[in-house]
Amino acid sequence: MDKKEKLKAIEEEILSSDLPLKDTATNLVFGKGSENAQILFIGEAPGEKEDLEGIPFVGRAGQELNNLLESIGLNLDEVYIANILKYRPPKNRDPNPEEIRIHTPFLIKQIKTINPKIIATLGNYATKFVLAGFDEQRMKKVDGISKLHGKEQEVTINDAIVKVIPLYHPAAMLYKPALRKELEADFATMGKIISQNIKKS
């Protein structure tokens, strides 16, 4: 079974399960991009437009993410994007610990299937989850995004060391325009890390 088939099997497993939030959401938002991507972006949860279309990062935040990717010579087809939650919480509220606990095994399967060299975490929840070693019980011990953004970290996945780059969520700068310069600077830093660790074909 190749990576694409494995991801499809994970998606079908989610569709056949009774995950929290499924009943209040419109669509499953599984992920998008190349299954062979060496760079994986992880967000927190789908928003309203993502819920309607069943695709992550298709709203304004997705447009901003695409612009930021282009600034370092990448596009959405060269990366893979997934969320911690596979269904949108009602009115975009924060996920509760039980929802995170039940949804995250599917994200972990996605990560292990894609096996990226670099993970970029978008926002506080995604950053804490990945740096806590995918253990929601340890998330409280991890510093927040305001302290960690743009600072390279490392985790071990599939017995390999993966570089983690915490980033503000692109939606944050839509509400706090002052964050734009910081996010642009952090993407520039990520571009340097990518060039040092990934050979483009």
- At which residue do the structure tokens 């830093």 appear? 189
What are 44-98's pLDDT values in tens digits?
A: 999 999 999 999 998 888 899 999 999 999 988 889 999 999 999 999 888 888 8
What are 116-139's pLDDT values in tens digits?
A: 999 999 999 899 999 998 887 888
Alpha helices, DSSP H, located in 16-153: 48-53, 60-71, 97-114, 124-131, 145-148
Percent of the chain topping pLDDT 90: 76
Domain that holds residue 177: 3-197
Q: What is the identity of the amino acid at 190?
A: M
Cα 178 to the chain's mean position, in Å?
Answer: 23
Domain count, the chain: 1
Query: Is the model's pLDDT at 19 over the cut of 70?
Result: yes
- pLDDT of the residue at 76: 80
The alpha carbon dihedral of 104, 62, 10, 166 has a sign of negative
CB 44 within 8 A of CB 125: yes
Model pTM score: 0.94
At 140, the pLDDT band (50, 70, 90 cuts) reads: confident
Query: Is the model's pLDDT at 200 over the cut of 70?
Result: no
Q: What is the DSSP letter of 88?
A: P
Strand residues in the chain grouped as ranges (E): 32-33, 39-43, 80-83, 118-122, 153-157, 160-167
At 197, the pLDDT band (50, 70, 90 cuts) reads: confident
What CATH number is given to the structural domain containing 99? 3.40.470.10
